[in-house]
């Protein structure tokens, strides 16, 4: 799996509990792995990416753990716990966490409590597993260190403040013009000085690939940048900004509740308990922080309600907030936040008396930073030098709430004008495309992006594309056939074998798996000739349907039993001949 198109980026971090119950929290790429064998209690929080791989910031740590020279008694005195953050719609659900848990045991570690496998597909989200797991964790730690009356649900005034936040210039002027100016800067420019991988790009084209009367707006966005290098399958990361409408709502909310904070205030942040992010080490206006650092579309989790509950002095609001923090109130919290996709601004508006108690320090505790969004690169350096193309489906949908839900990054990108600038960086993707190997490519919808990159690259190198089968799917041939001219050209001029499924252009729905079924003999021939299968797209139903179709065609054409056909496909997956990049 890979981060979804709305922007979730997999991470891993470690929590270390040392004697005297002092603790340390660290991202895994910042942790000194040489200390691991000397820790008392270590808690790992890990997500999964790629083909069941550890996240990028865990890869160096994981390579260390896999060293054959490590002693099987290395972690004999270390108690550990692992909790995975995953999504059960992916085949390799929480695979990285499972592998880590197993490896720690192989090195002699003492499992503090069974691995927790949090599932984003659960009605209550990952909190359904995380809450009970953390409760059991503290019970174990309390027993080990003989700590009486440890109570993680304490309602005492014990707020944990990460940073020291101060206002060094208190200006009270608020206007739409001032808020617009907060979007005209880029607070990450300074970070570019210390990060060689961060680049500045300019939008040179922003074209809608779907018909104007189609329900979905999809954009092919072209970015011009110098000194860039990438390969087919690579990923571009961008950090979006909030919309002017959301920024105005946020400051209007503060004003309506008599919170004396304004866009022009200059904020200074210094370290208190947690390392200050690089971007916050500079002096910024509150307007810039609201516009570019805090995610105003963020859906609050239980921890947010715990903080609000602690500061609330209104009995009615405090009672409801407390209910949302308790295990018995998680169903109601799900119905209030998750189901309707209620964001932080809307939540604060529903608790006005509590919101009136906010200050700049507390905002840094309840607000969540904008996370970078990842997109598959849809272009080839050999075809369009110094350009990166991305295919973006603009998120815009209804819930029971009055206002439509708009994806933060996709709408920001869709509204960028030619000449607009953005900061980005490139990382290796999960796909591995060996040269001179036949390929079967399945990319419905925007899943076509990495395959456009691959095919344009091959065509630019004058390679014959007859060894490539491309299965593309969309609703209508004339409404959402993304990059149609490119693929028709590659089929006509370079030999690409192109097969399309237009699901709504006939009475019965036709999906990519049905077109694969129609061409099962050709697919089998490709597999017999050593072809690799690559699949990209939405993780909901399509990946499993396509996989089942390949199992059936292997069974039918190879004269195998169902079990033998399943084993055949599983072997392709284990040897990276069947690769998937999907998102929810």
Binding site as annotated, residues for NADP(+): 446, 503-504, 509-513
Collapsed DSSP state (helix, strand, coil) of residue 540: coil
Q: Which of 321, 316, 313, 265 is nearest to 289 (CA)?
A: 265
SS3 category, 489: helix
Feature table: binding site for FAD? 341, 373-376, 407-410, 583
Contact indicator for 465, 490 with CB cutoff of 8 Å: yes
Residue numbering of the annotated binding site for FMN: 47-50, 85-94, 120
Q: What residues contact 542, with CB distance under 8 A and at least 6 apart?
A: 444, 511, 512, 513, 582
Query: Residue 20 in 3-state DSSP?
Result: coil
Give me the residues paired with residue 237 across strands.
Answer: 374, 425
Q: Tell me which residue of 178, 336, 341, 344 sits closest to 246, measured CA to CA.
A: 344
Distance in angstroms (rounded) separating the CA atoms of residues 303 and 518: 51
Q: Could you tell me which of 221, 53, 122 has the C-alpha nearest to residue 584?
A: 122
Give the span between the Cα atoms of 569 and 577, in whole angstroms. Answer: 9
* Sequence ranges of the binding site: 47-50, 85-94, 120, 341, 373-376, 407-410, 446, 503-504, 509-513, 583
Contact by Cβ (8 Å): 253, 345? yes
Instruction: Count other Cβ atoms within 10 Å, centred on residue 450.
Output: 26
Among 142, 162, 143, smallest CA distance to 151 is for 142
**How is 124-165 classified by DSSP, letter by letter?**
TTTHHHHHHHHHHHHHHHHHHTT-TT--TT--SS-----EEE
CA atoms of 217 and 214, how far apart (whole Å):
7
Reported as type and span, the H/E element at residue 316 is: helix 315-325
Start-to-end CA span in the chain (Å): 9
């Amino acid at each position: 799996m890979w981060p979804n198109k709305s922007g979730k980026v997999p991470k891993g971090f470690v929590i270390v509990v040392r004697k005297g119950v002092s603790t340390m929290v660290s991202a895994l790429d910042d942790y000194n792995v040489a200390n691991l064998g000397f820790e008392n209690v270590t808690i790992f929080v890990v997500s999964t990416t790629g083909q069941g791989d550890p996240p990028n910031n865990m890869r160096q740590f994981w390579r260390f753990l896999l060293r054959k020279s490590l002693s099987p008694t290395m972690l004999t005195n270390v108690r550990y716990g692992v909790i995975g953050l995953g999504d059960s719609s992916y085949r390799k659900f929480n695979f990285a966490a499972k592998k880590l848990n197993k490896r720690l045991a192989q090195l002699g570690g003492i499992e503090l409590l069974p691995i927790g496998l949090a599932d984003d597909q659960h009605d209550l989200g990952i909190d359904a597993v995380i809450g009970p797991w953390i409760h059991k964790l503290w019970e174990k730690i309390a027993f080990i260190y003989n700590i009486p009356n440890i109570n993680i649900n304490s309602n005492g005034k014990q707020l944990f403040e990460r940073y020291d936040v101060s206002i060094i210039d208190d200006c009270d002027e608020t206007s739409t013009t001032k808020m617009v100016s907060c979007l005209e800067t880029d607070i990450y420019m300074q970070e570019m000085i210390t990060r060689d991988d961060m680049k500045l790009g300019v939008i040179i084209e922003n074209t809608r690939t779907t018909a104007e009367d189609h329900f979905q707006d999809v954009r092919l966005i072209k970015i011009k940048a110098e000194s860039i290098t990438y390969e087919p399958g690579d990923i571009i990361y961008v950090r979006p900004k909030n919309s002017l409408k959301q920024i105005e709502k946020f400051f209007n909310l503060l004003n309506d509740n008599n919170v004396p904070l304004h866009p022009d205030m200059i904020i200074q942040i210094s370290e208190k308990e947690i390392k200050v992010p690089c971007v916050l080490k500079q002096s910024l206006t509150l307007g810039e922080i609201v516009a570019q650092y805090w995610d105003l579309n963020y859906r609050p989790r239980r921890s947010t309600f715990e903080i609000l509950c602690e500061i609330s002095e209104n009995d009615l609001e405090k009672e409801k907030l407390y209910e949302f923090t308790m295990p018995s109130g998680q169903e109601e919290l799900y119905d209030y936040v998750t189901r309707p996709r209620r964001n932080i601004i809307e939540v604060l508006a529903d608790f006005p008396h509590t919101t009136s108690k906010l200050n700049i320090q507390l905002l840094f505790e309840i607000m969540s930073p904008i996370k970078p969004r990842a997109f598959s690169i849809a272009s080839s350096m050999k075809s369009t030098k110094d350009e990166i193309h991305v295919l973006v489906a603009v998120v815009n949908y209804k819930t029971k709430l009055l206002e439509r839900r708009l994806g933060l990054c996709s709408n920001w990108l869709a509204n960028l004008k030619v000449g607009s600038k953005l900061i980005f960086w490139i990382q290796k993707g999960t796909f591995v495309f060996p040269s001179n190997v036949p390929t079967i490519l399945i990319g419905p919808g925007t899943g076509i992006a990495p395959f456009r990159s691959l095919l344009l690259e091959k065509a630019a190198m004058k390679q014959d594309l007859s060894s490539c089968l491309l299965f593309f799917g969309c609703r209508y041939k004339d409404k959402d056939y993304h990059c149609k001219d490119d693929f028709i050209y590659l089929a006509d001029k370079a030999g690409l074998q192109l097969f399309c499924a237009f699901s709504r252009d006939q009475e019965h729905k036709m999906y990519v798996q049905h077109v694969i079924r129609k061409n099962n003999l050709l697919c089998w021939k490709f597999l017999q000739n050593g072809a690799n299968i690559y699949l990209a797209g939405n993780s909901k139903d399509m990946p499993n349907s396509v996989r089942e179709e390949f199992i059936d065609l292997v069974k039918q054409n190879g004269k195998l039993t169902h079990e033998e056909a399943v084993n055949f496909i599983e072997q392709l997956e284990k040897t990276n001949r069947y690769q998937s990049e999907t998102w929810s």
